[in-house]
Amino acid sequence: MRAYLPAYDLRIPASLSEALALLAREPGVWEPFAGGTDLMVLLEAGKLSHKRFLNLSTLSDLQGIDVTADTVLIGALTTYSEIQRHPVLQTEFPLLCQAARETGSIATQNRGTLGGNIANASPAADSPPALLVYDAEIELVSERGARWLRYQGFHTGYKKLQMAPDELLSTVRLPRRAKSWKQYYRKVGTRKAQAISKVCFAGAAQVESGVIRDIRIALGSVAPTVVRAVKTENSLRGAKLSPEIFPAAKELLAREIAPIDDIRSTARYRLRVAQNLLEEFLLQLTK
């Protein structure tokens, strides 16, 4: 059933401070609206329970990509198309660019934002595994001030976030460390495009003389939140790369994730695919 449009209110704040003042005055009443690509699906389905929306799209403080010597700062309103076009993201953060390229269609990529993908908190979202691998940090702003958090741990449960109702996600910060690392990203869905992930895998590793010096592994669609496979990483760190280490790593990964059966796939399939992707990632490191 479609929603009744006159029942909704959309406010366009003139500035970030006006937006934050509104959120502070009536926390939980005003829901941020960025590209609208998640929210409009709910509207069409008649499932948009919120009635009052705060349009963020004109807020310049939440836009743009800035590169410093050590970091790349991505405004929450940055779209997937902007991510794909950015030269530093292309060369140093290819997993994020690939996630952006494989998100929805071009129309969705032109409107959907990185901040919206994070705040929507779907465990099947495609950019979060890349952000976890890159050790991203996020900035939340409110009238009370600004605070930076590690992205890892931001999602505390299914659709649960460490973000208060008066806060907005303003910036994603990526440290420029992974440049020389070998990187791997694979989204497995029903189709090549316009598909929600059955499993999404991102990995990066620093390999020297056949030994894994450091490694990061993150997955989507295999638990109530996107997850970093820390125990599997720990078991692989310092290991000499050879197919003999694959079975134990795959076993450990199975114990770190908790896939479920749903309309898109089964727990058994997701587990098998996650393990196969780990093997494919490790195999690529040997080359």
Ligand X SMILES: Cc1cc2nc3c(=O)[nH]c(=O)nc-3n(C[C@H](O)[C@H](O)[C@H](O)COP(=O)(O)OP(=O)(O)OC[C@H]3O[C@@H](n4cnc5c(N)ncnc54)[C@H](O)[C@@H]3O)c2cc1C
Residues lying near ligand X in the complex (CB under 6 A) are found at 31-39, 41, 56, 62, 76, 103-104, 108, 111-113, 115-117, 119-120, 125-126, 168-169, 194
DSSP state letter for 178: G
Q: Which is nearer to ligand X, 84 or 120 (CB)?
A: 120
Instruction: Compare residues 170 and 232 and give the one whose CB is closer to ligand X.
Output: 170
d(CA 273, CA 277): 6
- Cβ 89 to ligand X shortest distance, Å: 16
For ligand X, the closer of residues 86 and 250 by Cβ is: 86
Cα radius of gyration rounded to whole Å, the chain: 19
Q: How far is the CB of 209 from ligand X (least distance, A)?
A: 37
- Between 144 and 240, name the residue whose CB sits nearer to ligand X: 144
Strands (E), the chain: 9-11, 30-33, 52-55, 65-67, 71-75, 137-142, 145-150, 155-157, 160-161, 168-175, 182-188, 199-208, 211-220, 227-228
Closest CB to ligand X: residue number? 116
What minimum distance in Å lies between the beta carbon of 212 and ligand X? 29
Output the CA–CA distances (angstroms, integers) from residue 211 to 215, 235, 237, 266, 278, in the order listed: 11, 13, 8, 35, 17
Provide, rounded to whole angstroms, the least separation between the CB of residue 24 and ligand X: 14
